[in-house]
């Protein structure tokens, strides 16, 4: 895959038929007013000063290596791979939805599964934002050759994306999950755990409710103290969402979906400890508080100490940026992508 590699490596990410518009990242993460924030798969393009497209012709015109996202019934992805390889582009592929529950849901249809297997085997390689997705691709390809786990980066090395607040201005617990219907998010269990933490520490709780009256009734049934629950009932722009997160002392979740880990990534940009979650970002950015191989009781104790031991909290916050920079910064992941496509 070396034919497109260059000292000024740039990556094109293509989501054929997707809803996100064309976007270029000449300034890497850039300002915070991007149409789509430089996170998740957009971050692969942003960290290399590349571009994100939904039309095959635009990705071909970019004349760079391509990360092709597999979505929908994979027909558009299949056509895109053929068009790109006809033009001699280096093409790696990745499922757009990579949580274990999402992979299982996408592949219940035998025809869709067969189409995916064909694409993965014909592609020049596979990039996975989680270790579990990488294992899945290796199984399909029959070897580990040209398969890499490369976490989606976060612009922690760009001060324009530092949303942290002084510790003295932080108060409360932010619940990182919000989907009642996705069982592996364990949203209900997270709310009960946070209710107990709030009762032990007096810290207020912030939670999103985008389910209207039904969600309000579910929250009411948990029994938070009236003066301790703050409910956000509308979607926010990403920068404003981060400002809400940054007001809190910790983020708490019990997600067991093995996703890339945007909740933990949001916490990184706010320099706030994230407790719980077994996503890739959780494990790399918050190894001492993530939910991987820890019980709910363990996570409750971790959260309680962070909320009550000021010295421990300050020490934890001070170490967040350094721990994340070793695997998750734009500079680090850009080098990993360049190495992968240049190998």
pLDDT digits (tens, 9 = 90+) for 263-320: 999 999 999 999 999 999 999 999 999 999 999 999 999 999 999 999 999 999 999 9
Pick from 63, 18, 6, 8: nearest CA to 42: 18
Residue 2 resides in a domain: no
Rounded CA gap, 143 and 141, in Å?
6
Do 119 and 239 lie in a common domain?
A: no
Residues 167 and 226 in one domain: yes
- How many structural domains is the chain composed of? 2
Residue 7 resides in a domain: no
The domain spanning residue 316 has which CATH number? 3.40.50.2000
Candidates 178, 183, 236, 229; CA nearest to 208 is 178
Position 11 confidence tier, pLDDT thresholds 50, 70, 90: very high
pTM: 0.94
Q: Has residue 88 been placed in a domain?
A: yes
Tell me if 176 is assigned to some domain: yes
If asked whether residues 145 and 81 sit together in one domain, one would say yes
Q: What is the pLDDT of residues 184-216, one digit of tens each?
A: 999 999 999 999 999 999 999 999 999 999 999
Find, among 77, 283, 101, 281, the residue nearest to 182 by Cα: 101
Considering the domain architecture, whether residues 178 and 319 belong to the same structural domain is answered as yes
Q: Do the bridges between strand 250-252 and strand 173-175 make them parallel or antiparallel, or are there none, so unpaired?
A: parallel
Question: Are residue 258 and residue 308 in the same domain, yes or no?
Answer: yes
Co-location of 40 and 140 in the same domain: yes
Do residue 192 and residue 275 come from a single domain?
yes
Q: Are residues 131 and 166 in the same domain?
A: no
262 and 138, same structural domain? no
> Is 231 among the domain residues?
yes
SS3 241: helix
Q: Is the pLDDT of residue 6 over 50?
A: no
Domain limits for position 246: 159-325
Locate tokens 């989501």: which residue? 15
Q: Assess if residue 303 is contained within a domain.
A: yes
253 with 163, same domain? yes
Q: Are residues 248 and 316 in the same domain?
A: yes
44 with 140, same domain: the answer is yes
**In angstroms, how far is the first alpha carbon of the chain from the final one?**
6
- What the block records as the tokens of 175 is 């619940």
pLDDT digits (tens, 9 = 90+) for 56-114: 999 999 999 999 999 999 999 999 999 999 999 999 999 999 999 999 999 999 999 99
- pLDDT tens readout for residues 224-255: 998 999 999 999 999 999 999 999 999 999 99
1 is a domain residue: no
- Residue 298 falls within a domain, yes or no? yes
Output the domain CATH number for residue 99. Answer: 3.40.50
Measured N-to-C along each axis, helices 187-201 and 296-308 cross at an angle, to the nearest 10 degrees, of 40
CA distance 196 to 192: 6
């Amino acid at each position: 895959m070396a034919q497109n590699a260059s000292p000024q490596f740039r990556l094109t990410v293509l989501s054929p038929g997707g809803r996100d518009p064309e976007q270029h990242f000449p300034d890497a993460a850039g300002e915070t007013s991007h149409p789509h924030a430089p996170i998740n798969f957009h971050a692969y393009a942003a960290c290399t000063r590349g571009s994100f497209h939904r039309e095959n012709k635009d990705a071909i015109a970019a004349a760079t290596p391509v990360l092709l996202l597999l979505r929908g019934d994979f027909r558009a992805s299949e056509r895109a791979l053929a068009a790109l390889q006809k033009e001699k582009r280096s093409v790696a592929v990745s499922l757009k939805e990579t949580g274990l529950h999402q992979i299982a849901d996408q592949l219940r249809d035998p025809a869709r599964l067969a189409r995916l297997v064909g694409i993965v085997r014909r592609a020049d390689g596979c990039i996975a934002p989680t270790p579990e997705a990488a294992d899945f691709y290796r199984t399909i390809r029959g070897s580990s050759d040209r398969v890499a786990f490369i976490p989606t980066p976060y612009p922690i090395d760009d001060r324009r994306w530092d949303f942290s607040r002084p510790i003295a201005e932080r108060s409360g617990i932010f619940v990182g999950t919000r989907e009642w219907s996705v069982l592996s998010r364990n949203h209900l269990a997270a709310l009960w755990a946070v209710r107990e933490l709030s009762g032990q520490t007096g810290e207020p709780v912030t939670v999103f409710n985008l389910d209207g009256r039904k969600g309000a009734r579910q929250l009411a049934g948990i029994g938070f103290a009236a003066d301790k629950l703050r409910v956000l009932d509308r979607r926010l722009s990403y920068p404003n969402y981060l400002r809400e997160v940054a007001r809190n002392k910790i983020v708490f979740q019990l997600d067991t979906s093995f996703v890339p880990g945007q909740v933990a990534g949001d916490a990184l940009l706010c320099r706030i400890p994230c407790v719980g979650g077994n996503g890739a970002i959780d494990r790399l950015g918050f190894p001492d508080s993530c939910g991987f191989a820890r019980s709910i009781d363990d996570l409750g104790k971790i959260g309680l100490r962070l909320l009550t031991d000021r010295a421990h909290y300050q020490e934890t916050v001070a170490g967040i940026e350094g721990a994340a920079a070793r695997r998750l910064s734009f500079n680090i992941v850009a080098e990993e992508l360049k190495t992968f496509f240049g190998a």
